[in-house]
């Protein structure tokens, strides 16, 4: 398994399996089980995905030894403060049937995430989490968090795909020692990614699929990927990206697809802060 080494020495698989928008308990459990059987060792969930229990059941059913796994979950906005972060962490751990987490992320840069970060720093020091990080922090927010806390986030999980490549963000994170992780590597299929002419032609040249080319392109940039699929054949396909290499020309062609804008939401839009703040779950 190819890994990256985080700023605290912890090794993280460069490819994992994401379970956003898989709320159905049985479907989620089966997808995670298939992913573990296919060889994935990193599973990416979140309290807000409402499927931590299904992930926990799949882990147990798989029989994969705990030390081989890298399990990530995230703290939702409504719990982004010191006290709630500790409670929410304990609930997540229980739902996942685990006694420690590999990676705990602040899901969104909203709420009292400074308080939450201090709770996470304590949990990390107590050995209950192997690494702590954030998600959806653009460079300005990330710098502010780094400036005013003791522990530098190990990971920042942000939207990254061929139409939104995050080139400057990636350079900034590298400079700060924060591992870049991509969410929505396929942009959830938006903008017709799977039939994009440039990507199709590169895929045909390598006798691979567009999905494999996109994941390979991210991995060659040393970005951790967590593609999601509920279909066994795609789960296998997305993991099979280590037997080919994209050339400089391929990479230049993919670089030209960058629109430098999110296909989903803007973290500079006050309406997004409002919507996320109002988005409450029964956790
Ligand atoms: N931190 C955050 O705020 C945040 C936000 C979004 C996502 N994430 C994480 O990132 C993970 C991945 O992102 P995502 O789930 O939003 O989207 P994604 O992985 O970009 O796209 C998933 C979509 O692509 C399809 N797909 C998967 N493999 C395929 C293949 N080989 N060929 C054709 N279609 C394929 C899936 O359909 P089928 O399932 O039908 O195969 C699904 O519709 C999430 O699951 C989650 O863990 C985090």
Candidate from 22, 103, 137, 186 with most ligand 1 atoms within 8 A of CB, to mutate: 186
According to DSSP, residue 247 is labeled -
Query: Whose CA is closest to atom 32 on ligand 1?
Result: 211
* pLDDT above 90 for 24: no
Q: 188 CB under 6 A from ligand 1?
A: yes
Considering Cα of 99, then 229, then 269, then 145, what sign does the dihedral take?
A: positive
Query: Whose CA is closest to atom 22 on ligand 1?
Result: 188
Which residue from 137, 15, 167, 28 is spatially nearest to 74, judged by alpha carbons? 137
Q: pLDDT by residue (tens digit) across 172-186?
A: 999 999 999 999 999
**CA gap 157, 137 in Å, rounded:** 8
Which residue from 89, 87, 35, 24 is spatially nearest to 64, judged by alpha carbons? 35
Helix or strand or coil: residue 107?
coil
Helix (H) or strand (E) holding 70: strand 70-75
- The pTM of this model reads 0.98
Q: 135 CB under 6 A from ligand 1?
A: yes
Q: Among the options 33, 40, 49, 113, which is catalytic?
A: 49
Q: What is the pLDDT of residue 35?
A: 98
According to DSSP, residue 146 is labeled H
Q: 187 CB under 6 A from ligand 1?
A: yes
Q: pLDDT by residue (tens digit) across 200-231?
A: 999 999 999 999 999 999 999 999 999 999 99
| Mean pLDDT across the chain | 98
The CATH number for 3-278, chosen from 3.40.50.300, 1.10.3720.10, 3.20.20.100, 3.40.50.1000, is 3.20.20.100
Query: Whose CA is closest to atom 10 on ligand 1?
Result: 183
């Amino acid at each position: 398994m190819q890994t990256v080494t985080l700023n605290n020495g912890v090794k993280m698989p460069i490819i994992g399996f994401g379970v956003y928008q898989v709320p159905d308990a049985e479907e989620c459990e089966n997808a995670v089980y298939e992913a573990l059987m296919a060889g994935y060792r990193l599973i990416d969930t979140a309290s807000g995905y409402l499927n931590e229990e299904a992930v926990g059941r799949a882990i147990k059913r798989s029989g994969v030894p705990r030390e081989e796994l890298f399990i990530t979950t995230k703290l939702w906005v409504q719990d982004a403060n010191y006290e709630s972060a500790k409670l929410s962490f304990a609930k997540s751990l229980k739902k996942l049937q685990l006694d420690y987490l590999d990676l705990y992320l602040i899901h969104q840069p909203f709420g009292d995430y400074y308080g939450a970060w201090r709770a996470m720093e304590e949990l990390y020091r107590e050995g209950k989490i192997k690494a702590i990080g954030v998600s959806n922090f653009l460079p300005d927010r990330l710098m502010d968090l780094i400036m005013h806390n003791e522990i530098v986030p190990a990971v920042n999980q942000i939207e990254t795909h061929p139409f939104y490549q995050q080139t400057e963000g990636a350079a900034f994170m590298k400079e700060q020692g924060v591992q870049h992780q991509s969410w929505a590597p396929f942009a959830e299929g938006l903008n017709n990614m799977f039939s994009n002419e440039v990507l199709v032609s590169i895929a045909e040249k390598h006798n691979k699929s567009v999905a494999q080319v996109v994941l390979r392109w991210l991995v060659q940039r040393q970005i951790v990927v967590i593609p999601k699929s509920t279909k066994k054949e795609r789960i296998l396909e997305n993991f099979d990206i280590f037997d080919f290499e994209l050339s400089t020309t391929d990479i230049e062609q993919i670089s030209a697809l960058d629109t430098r804008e999110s296909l989903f939401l803007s973290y500079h839009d006050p309406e997004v802060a409002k919507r996320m703040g109002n988005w409450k779950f029964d956790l």
